């Protein structure tokens, strides 16, 4: 099963990467927008842009999931006719894209922290995801459900990470807006 599993992961991971590029492009465009508008004191515009970026990320994730749910096995079947490979690839394309929109929320949050001149939170968020969530959850998932559990652990890990990143950024922005406004009020 090891060889079909490896073959079954190569193509779907490339397909997923192509769809994830939209998330990466979005997060790369969020950073300069946040930085410029924050510097100009347009705090509500920053909040609105982040809200729209996260809605888009979650919508794109849903779109990608639906597309891969319906098209994934057919695409895999076009390039490989081994039933074990098709099975492993189909399972991957059924589970992993569930976290794609949440991955976009994490990317938007970490890019925004960087744009605000705060590189520490993205580092902490990455460490949380990799060391304390993804790896342990993948090991537990593998123990309980085999390779399917690894995929499930990955989605659970990104879900928790997205929640932490979203809440942390939201609290940080609100706190920094209050500070900026109190400084402005003290000056005038």
Backbone Cα Rg of the chain:
19
Share of the chain above pLDDT 70, in %: 96
Query: Confidence class of residue 1 from pLDDT cuts 50, 70 and 90?
Result: low
Interatomic CA distance for residues 95 and 151, integer angstroms: 6
pLDDT for the residue numbered 95 = 92
In terms of residue numbers, what domain contains 110?
Answer: 2-187
pLDDT for the residue numbered 7 = 67
pLDDT for the residue numbered 146 = 93
Tokens at residue 50, please? Answer: 């982040």
The predicted-structure confidence for 51-97, as pLDDT tens digits, reads as follows 999 999 999 999 999 998 888 888 888 888 888 888 888 889 889 99
Measured between alpha carbons, how far is residue 115 from residues 21, 52, 103, 121 in Å?
20, 17, 18, 12
Average pLDDT value for the chain? 92
The predicted-structure confidence for 27-57, as pLDDT tens digits, reads as follows 999 999 999 999 999 999 999 999 999 999 9
DSSP string, 61-122: HHHHHHHHHHHHHHHHHHH---HHHHHHHHHHHHHGGGGHHHHHHHHHHHHHHHHTT--HHH
Tokens at residue 143, please? Answer: 């123990």
The predicted-structure confidence for 131-164, as pLDDT tens digits, reads as follows 999 999 999 999 999 999 999 999 999 999 999 9
pLDDT for the residue numbered 144 = 97
Q: What is residue 119's three-state secondary structure?
A: coil
CA angle 74, 79, 85 (to 5 degrees): 80
Name the more confident of 124 and 4: 124
Interatomic CA distance for residues 63 and 108, integer angstroms: 18
Count of structural domains within the chain: 1
């Amino acid at each position: 099963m090891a060889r079909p599993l490896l073959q079954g992961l190569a193509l779907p991971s490339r397909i997923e990467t192509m769809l994830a590029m939209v998330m990466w492009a979005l997060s790369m465009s969020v950073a300069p927008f946040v930085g410029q508008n924050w510097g100009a004191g347009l705090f509500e515009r920053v909040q609105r842009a982040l809200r729209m970026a996260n809605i888009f990320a979650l919508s794109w994730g849903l779109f990608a999931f639906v597309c891969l749910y319906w098209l994934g096995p057919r695409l895999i079947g076009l390039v490989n006719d081994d039933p074990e490979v098709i099975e492993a690839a189909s399972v991957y394309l059924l589970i992993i894209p569930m976290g794609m929109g949440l991955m976009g929320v994490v990317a938007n949050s970490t890019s925004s922290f960087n744009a605000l001149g705060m590189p520490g939170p993205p580092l902490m968020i990455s460490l949380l995801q990799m060391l304390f969530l993804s790896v342990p959850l993948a090991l537990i998932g593998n123990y309980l459900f085999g390779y399917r559990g690894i995929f499930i652990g990955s989605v659970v890990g990104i879900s928790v990470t997205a929640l932490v990143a979203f809440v942390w950024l939201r609290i940080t922005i609100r706190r920094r807006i209050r500070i900026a406004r109190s400084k402005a009020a003290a000056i005038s």
